[in-house]
Amino acid sequence: MSDYRVQLLDIVRRLLRALDPVLLLVLLTLMGYAVVIMGSASPERMDSQLMHGALALMAMWVIAAIPSQRLLGLALPLYLLGTVLLVGVDLFGEISKGARRWLDIGITRIQPSELMKIAMPMMLAWYFQQREGHVGLREFLIAGLMLVVPVGLILVQPDLGTSLLVTAAGFYVIFFAGLSWKLIVPVALVGIVGIGSIVAFGDTLCQPDVDWKVLREYQKHRVCTLLDPTQDPLGKGFHIIQSTIAIGSGGVMGKGWQNGTQTHLSFLPERHTDFIFAVLSEEFGLIGTLVLLATYLLLLTRGFTIALFAPTLGTRLLAGAITMIFFTYAFVNMGMVSGILPVVGVPLPFISYGGTALVTLCLGVGILMSIQRSRLDKKT
């Protein structure tokens, strides 16, 4: 056999071995669920949903086949590229729906903030691995700085949802790297007190003439809408009211596939994207939502297991952070649709329609698979 053919066989073997059966099962379950729900929420989008899924699975597979250490080696270039592109967006980006988020690079439009969701935890994990054994206050400060710059660039687009997600992604790496509770607790306290006071003084703060300075008008609106959905029943508050009605009217068994009145009579906004969870809840009831929660829990369990047994510090941190990102997506989306969190543009992971988010999430799964593979490789 020629050298060339041995190499090719090796690649094929590695590709097959790269797939983690548990993660693959979870992923296919979620995507199958997504197709079924899309068949009710927006049947005309089923084809492209399937195409996005196929594309995302291929991307996942490719990433899974790359050894995890080599992936971490890509962290710095990706991070730098992402940051440069974000600067480009803020300067030359296209405005859509009141925000400058897209960059036209000639062939296609890309959303650099999406890249940051993966590049940020990779960058920080890579950095902490470089400093392994010497991680101290200085390293945490530098990591904090690496986090703040791109988040700031995303925040001015303005895109509250993505900047929160990128912040969370970076924070999880820092948290797993061992940032002292002495620092975490005060920050958490400030956050809780801050949110608590906003809720307490919501009425005064949400007067139309009050300028919040820090947050944009639409962000203020979103927070205020959460505090009192009824004050704006036909705007954003209308969305929350209608999605709560959809969920609640579903009951235990649901109204049945394609029988959701809230969905099919257009009372539900964004029913194929951010509010698709309400469609699921209305048509499949409490049972459907608990099945979804259980599937996500399985995903998280597998992710944490991979993190616990990951071979190096960098892969450990990255696996832990990616798992928590999945959790964050799921919790924020379901929390928002069911009315316990503000409306931020976070999709329901692996279910909501939209190619970019699905590819990003599947890249995350691919990284987890790659890390799992490295551990097995190391053992043997």
Partner 1 sequence: MAEFRSPDQDNARFRRRVVVAALFALVCFALLASRFYYLQVKRHDYYLTRAEDNRIALLPTVPKRGTIVDRNGVVLARNYAAYTLEITPSRVDDLEATINALSEIVTIEPRDRRRFRKILDESRNFDSVPIRTRLTEDEVARFIAQRYRFRGVEVQARLFRDYPLGATASHIIGYIGRINTRDEERIEERGDTANYRGSEYIGKSGLEQSYEVELHGQTGFEQVEVNAGGRAVRALSRSPAVPGNDLELTLDIELQKVAETAFGKRRGALVAIEPETGGVLALVSTPTFDPNLFVDGISAQDWKELNDSPDHPLLNRAIYSAYPPGSTFKPFMAMAGLTTGKRHLGYAMADPGYFNFGGHRFMDDKIGGHGMVDIHKSIVVSCNTFYYQLANDLGIDAIAGFMAPFGFGSRTGIDLPGEAEGVLPSPEWKKKRFRKPELQRWYGGETISVGIGQGYNAYTPVQLANALAALVNDGKLFRPHIVRNVVDARGTKRVVEPEPLRQIALNPAHMAAVRAAMVDVNKSGTGARAFRGAAYEVGGKTGTAQVFSLKGGRYVEGRVAERLRDHSWFIAYAPADKPKIALAVLVENGGFGAQSAAPIARQVIDYHLLKSLPAHPADEDAEAVESEE
Closer of 68 and 338 to partner 1 (Cβ): 338
Told to check if 40 binds partner 1 by CB under 8 A, we report: no
Which residues from 163-202 bind partner 1, rule CB under 8 A? Answer: 172, 175-176, 178, 180
From 41-49, 55-63, 141-149, 287-295, span contacting partner 1 (CB under 8 A): 287-295
From 154-162, 191-199, 295-303, 362-370, span contacting partner 1 (CB under 8 A): 295-303
**Candidate residues 111, 338, 370, 372; the one interacting with partner 1 per rule CB under 8 A:** 338
Closer of 73 and 335 to partner 1 (Cβ): 335
Told to check if 126 binds partner 1 by CB under 8 A, we report: no
Closer of 140 and 212 to partner 1 (Cβ): 140
**Candidate residues 134, 145, 204, 211; the one interacting with partner 1 per rule CB under 8 A:** 134
Q: How far apart are CA 298 and CA 138, in angstroms?
A: 36
**At closest approach, how far in Å is the CB of 298 from partner 1?**
12
**At closest approach, how far in Å is the CB of 5 from partner 1?**
41
Told to check if 286 binds partner 1 by CB under 8 A, we report: yes
Told to check if 307 binds partner 1 by CB under 8 A, we report: yes
Q: In what order do the strands lie in the sheet with 109-110?
A: 94-96, 99-104, 109-110
**Candidate residues 22, 304, 355, 356; the one interacting with partner 1 per rule CB under 8 A:** 304
Size of the site for partner 1 (CB under 8 A): 52
Told to check if 311 binds partner 1 by CB under 8 A, we report: no
Identify which of 125, 135, 209 has the alpha carbon closest to the alpha carbon of residue 170: 125
Told to check if 212 binds partner 1 by CB under 8 A, we report: no
Told to check if 313 binds partner 1 by CB under 8 A, we report: yes
- Cα Rg of the chain, angstroms: 21
**Candidate residues 28, 148, 200, 297; the one interacting with partner 1 per rule CB under 8 A:** 297
**Candidate residues 248, 311, 354, 355; the one interacting with partner 1 per rule CB under 8 A:** 248
Under 8 Å between Cβ of 18 and 373: yes
**Candidate residues 314, 320, 345, 364; the one interacting with partner 1 per rule CB under 8 A:** 320
Told to check if 249 binds partner 1 by CB under 8 A, we report: yes
Told to check if 240 binds partner 1 by CB under 8 A, we report: no
Task: Find the length of the chain.
Answer: 380
Closer of 119 and 324 to partner 1 (Cβ): 324
Told to check if 334 binds partner 1 by CB under 8 A, we report: yes
Told to check if 327 binds partner 1 by CB under 8 A, we report: yes
User: What residue type is 153 in one-letter code?
Assistant: L
Under 8 Å between Cβ of 319 and 307: yes
> Mind spelling out the 3-state secondary structure of the chain?
CCHHHHHHHHHHHHHHHHCCHHHHHHHHHHHHHHHHHHHHHCHHHHHHHHHHHHHHHHHHHHHHHCCHHHHHHCHHHHHHHHHHHHHHHHHHCEEECCEEEEEECCCCEECHHHHHHHHHHHHHHHHHHHCCCCCCHHHHHHHHHHHHHHHHHHHCCCCHHHHHHHHHHHHHHHHHCCCCHHHHHHHHHHHHHHHHHHHHCHHHHCCCCCCCCCCCHHHHHHHHHHHCHHHCCCCHHHHHHHHHHHHHHHCCCCCCCCCCHHHHCCCCCCCCCCCHHHHHHHHHHHHHHHHHHHHHHHHHHHHHHHHHCCCCHHHHHHHHHHHHHHHHHHHHHHHHHCCCCCCCCCCCCCCCCCHHHHHHHHHHHHHHHHHHHHHHHHHC
From 30-38, 156-164, 300-308, 368-376, span contacting partner 1 (CB under 8 A): 300-308
Told to check if 285 binds partner 1 by CB under 8 A, we report: yes
Which residues make up the interface to partner 1 (CB under 8 A)?
132-137, 172, 175-176, 178, 180, 242, 244-252, 261-262, 265-267, 281, 285-286, 289-290, 293, 296-297, 300-301, 304, 307-308, 313, 316-317, 320, 323-324, 327, 331, 334-335, 338-340
